[in-house]
Amino acid sequence: MPRPVTLNPSRPGPTDRPPPPIPDRVSYYNFDDVRKDLTLVESPWIVQENMASSFQVSLPSERGYVTVTLAKENSEKGTLADVTVFGSPAPHLSIDLEKKKLLHLLKELQDMRVCPGIRDANLQDLAGAPDGRTSYYRHMEYKCVNGKVTHISSVKSTRCELLLPPSSPLCQKCVQIEKVLLQKRNTLAEAVTKPIHPNAPLHNMPKAQLKEAFKHTRLENNRLQKELQLFKEKMEEESVHMNEAMHSSLCAVDTGQLKEGSLQKLFWEEQQKALTCKAKGMR
């Protein structure tokens, strides 16, 4: 007869332990393993390049041009995938395919959307082509609509994330640049209302401020021209015109008969002196 089992109430129960970690599954061991899956790539992805040492898979679409490139020399095992968008590298999207299937990566990239950048029309003129000195640049995207080539202008950060999850309207890098541009626009708007310093360098002046200064100068010049014309007309009305005969008669006045030291003699002496001077030689 089997011996009955008795439970010891003082004995502690079993200890709860977390389940053991699931071992990482290796998808590819080397570059050649990844290259074998190129036969499984389907539309809209296309294999643009397939060589013994590298290959390239691209996604051309209206949302952007995404390219995934693998090369043997890029990593020790040759499984590092580099991602580019519109020809610009996206290092935060580069991934080692040792533990990730190529088709899974392509599916994730296909579901993402291109960062549109800052589309505010009032901020476009504040950015230019990439020059390596500013943290933002102006990006032009050309499209053909109804047989006509049109373009879409946007401002992007030099560190733009390029690809975003479907729910994200703008990457954080571009959001920061948008705040910088809004502050810059407000600063320029305030500077327009301030007078330009006489010694301020013109090449650093905002275009709007120069236009306002030129407009003010033109209005002031027009006002002075009108005042000058009115002054000339008034002088013509109030002045006395002297002909040659009157000039000769005034010069022939004999001041010797006038009393010495009298006001009349002084007047005619000064008049004759003025009449004999050059037109622009008298003060």
pLDDT tens-digit profile, the chain (283 residues): 566 666 666 777 778 888 888 777 888 888 889 889 998 988 889 888 888 888 899 987 655 578 888 888 777 778 888 998 877 888 888 888 888 899 999 998 888 888 888 998 889 888 888 888 888 999 888 777 788 888 889 999 988 888 888 888 898 999 999 999 999 888 877 776 777 777 777 776 777 777 878 888 899 999 999 999 998 888 888 776 666 776 677 666 666 677 777 787 777 777 777 767 765 555 5
User: What residues contact residue 191 under an 8 Å CB cut-off, 6+ apart?
Assistant: 206, 209
Whole-number Å distance between alpha carbons of 26 and 125 = 50
Domain residue limits, the chain: 31-111, 121-192, 202-238, 244-276
Gyration radius (Cα) of the chain, Å: 44
A 10 A CB-CB count for 127 gives 21
The pTM score is 0.56
Cis peptide before 44 (omega within 30 of 0): yes
CA separation for the pair 211, 206 (Å, rounded):
9
Whether 86 and 140 have beta carbons less than 8 Å apart is answered as no
Q: Name the residue among 67, 65, 72 with its Cα closest to residue 82.
A: 67
**DSSP tag of 120:** -
Q: Where on the phi/psi map is residue 57: left (φ > 0), alpha (ψ -120 to 50), or beta?
A: beta
